[in-house]
């Protein structure tokens, strides 16, 4: 295993230390237990947003803490859920008196630990609503999941719900927007290589030199099938078609097209995927009204990409366009 790390046991803490030092105008860290929150603390009267999950998917979630998005993020160990004892103080810290929305990717450990944390926070009189993201169309049930997995679409939920909170929606309203985004976003990914969890030191799965895994999970969970390597346009179609069909996209609809890198893929390749995904959507009569391309929900150094499509309406488009100022997303 070749990584720019010290003791793997310290990787998450040291990375968070570097992250908050580099972005001290936006975020601050708490170390016992560990979570990241907005500088200056909760915004009075605004619904707070908290997300979290296993580390290894950076910039998700700490990279999305800041104005217009999350108020706190809770990193677990690599590919492992944060504990309720970690999550609960983040929920409390994010409460500006208007309650907190927890955004949870649909993995069994995350869902359970957030549930317990919500009970702990509620015992401290913090009102919490939870929205579970499950945008991955590749498989029903998976290694760590009952039902569909939450993957890159989570970024869309966090961005748009964050904008809804910023405009003053109440907790039920922000939760409703988040639920609506999750209902209208779908993703599917491909892996060209496995990644290596630092604590294990070995690739998380074996993939022959001439094969790719279609429908890969962000922890290297199995997808739909393995195929021989194909040109990017063919692989992209294997990702885009199931997404478009699951969304029942109709001609004339507007969408956000989001091509996400898994961590080890050059951005030049992501744009090749984007180019073909956009062509395929346009061939369906779908209008790509907004775009996002880059490494936003990664699997350490995995090579691969995912394609996410979010059906837009005027309200969601406006919330997407609203100002955001985080380490990883800003406009």
- Spell out, one character per residue from 222 to 241, where the chain touches a copy of itself: x when CB under 8 A holds, - when not: -------x-xxx-xx-----
Catalytic residue among 30, 61, 219, 225: 219
Determine, following the binding rule CB under 8 A, whether residue 15 of this chain makes contact with a copy of itself. yes
- DSSP helix/strand/coil, 313: coil
Q: Closer to a copy of itself by CB, 42 or 302: give it.
A: 302
Which two structure tokens, joined as six digits, stand for 29? 């860290």
Q: Does 17 sit near a copy of itself (CB under 8 A)?
A: yes
**Rounded distance, CA 175 to CA 215, Å?**
28
293 interacts with a copy of itself by CB under 8 A: yes
- Which residue is catalytic, options 23, 30, 57, 61? 57
Rounded distance, CA 153 to CA 155, Å?
Answer: 5
**Which of 29, 171, 227, 272 touches a copy of itself (CB under 8 A)?**
272
| Min CB(55)–a copy of itself separation in Å | 7
Q: Contacting a copy of itself (CB under 8 A), which of 105, 148, 159, 278?
A: 278
Token pair in block for residue 60: 């998700």
Query: Binding to a copy of itself by residue 301, rule CB under 8 A?
Result: yes
Q: Residue 123 — φ and ψ, nearest 5°?
A: -65, -20
Helix, strand, or coil (residue 1): coil
Distance (Å, whole) CA 204 – CA 322:
38
Binding pattern to a copy of itself, positions 43-82, x when CB under 8 A? ------------xx-xx---x-------------------
Which one among 97, 168, 201, 266 touches a copy of itself, defined by CB under 8 A?
A: 266
61 tagged catalytic: no
Q: How far apart are CA 131 and CA 153, in angstroms?
A: 13
In our burial notation (b when 16+ CB lie closer than 10 A, e otherwise), range 83-92 reads bbebbbbbbb
Helix, strand, or coil (residue 267): helix
Residue number, 21 or 112, with CB nearest to a copy of itself: 21
Output 144 or 274, the one with its CB closest to a copy of itself.
274
Q: Assess 321 for contact with a copy of itself (CB under 8 A).
A: no
Q: Is 200 in the site for a copy of itself (CB under 8 A)?
A: no
Q: Which residues inside 137-166 make contact with a copy of itself, applying CB under 8 A?
A: none
Region of 130 please: left (phi>0), alpha (psi -120 to 50) or beta: beta
C-alpha 48/C-alpha 74 separation (Å) is: 14
Which residue lies nearer to a copy of itself by CB, 172 or 229?
Answer: 229
Mark out the alpha helices in 128-286 (DSSP H runs): 153-166, 171-183, 232-246, 267-283
- Render the burial of 210-228: b for 16+ CB within 10 Å, e for the rest: eebbbbbbbbbbbbeeeee
- The answer to whether residue 248 is catalytic is no
According to CB under 8 A, which one of 122, 199, 271, 323 is a site residue for a copy of itself? Answer: 271
Catalytically annotated residues: 57, 219
Positions in the binding site for a copy of itself (CB under 8 A): 2-7, 11-12, 14-19, 21-23, 55-56, 58-59, 63, 190, 192-193, 209-210, 212, 229, 231-233, 235-236, 257, 263-276, 278, 288, 291-293, 295, 298, 300-301, 303-305, 330-331
């Amino acid at each position: 295993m070749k990584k720019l790390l010290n003791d793997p046991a310290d990787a998450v803490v040291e990375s968070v230390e570097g992250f908050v030092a580099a972005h001290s105008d936006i975020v601050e860290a708490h170390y016992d237990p560990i979570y990241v929150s907005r500088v200056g603390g909760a915004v009075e009267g605004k619904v707070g947003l908290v997300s979290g999950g296993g580390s290894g998917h950076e910039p998700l979630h700490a990279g999305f803490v800041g104005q217009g998005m999350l108020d706190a993020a809770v990193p677990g160990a690599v590919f492992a859920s944060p504990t309720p004892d970690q999550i609960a103080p983040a929920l409390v810290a994010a409460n500006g008196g208007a309650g907190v929305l927890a955004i949870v990717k649909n993995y069994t450990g995350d869902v359970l630990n957030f549930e317990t944390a919500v009970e702990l926070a509620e015992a401290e009189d913090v009102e919490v609503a939870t929205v579970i993201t499950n945008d991955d169309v590749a498989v029903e049930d998976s290694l760590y999941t009952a039902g569909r997995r939450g993957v890159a679409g989570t970024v869309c939920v966090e961005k748009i719900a964050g904008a809804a909170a910023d405009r003053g929606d109440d907790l039920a309203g922000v939760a409703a927007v988040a639920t609506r985004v999750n209902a209208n976003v779908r993703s599917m990914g491909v892996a060209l290589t496995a990644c290596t969890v630092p604590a294990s030191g070995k690739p998380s799965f074996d993939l022959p030199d001439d094969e790719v895994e279609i429908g890969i999970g962000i922890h290297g969970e199995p997808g739909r099938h393995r195929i021989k390597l194909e040109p990017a346009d063919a692989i992209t179609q294997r990702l885009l078609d199931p997404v478009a069909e699951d969304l029942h996209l109709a001609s004339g609809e507007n969408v956000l097209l989001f091509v996400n890198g898994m961590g080890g893929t050059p951005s030049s390749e992501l744009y090749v995927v984007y180019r073909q995904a956009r062509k395929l959507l346009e061939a369906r009569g779908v209008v790509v009204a907004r775009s996002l391309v880059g490494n936003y929900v990664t699997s350490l150094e995995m090579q691969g990409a995912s394609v996410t499509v979010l059906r837009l309406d005027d309200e969601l488009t406006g919330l997407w366009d609203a100002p955001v100022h985080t380490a990883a997303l800003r406009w």
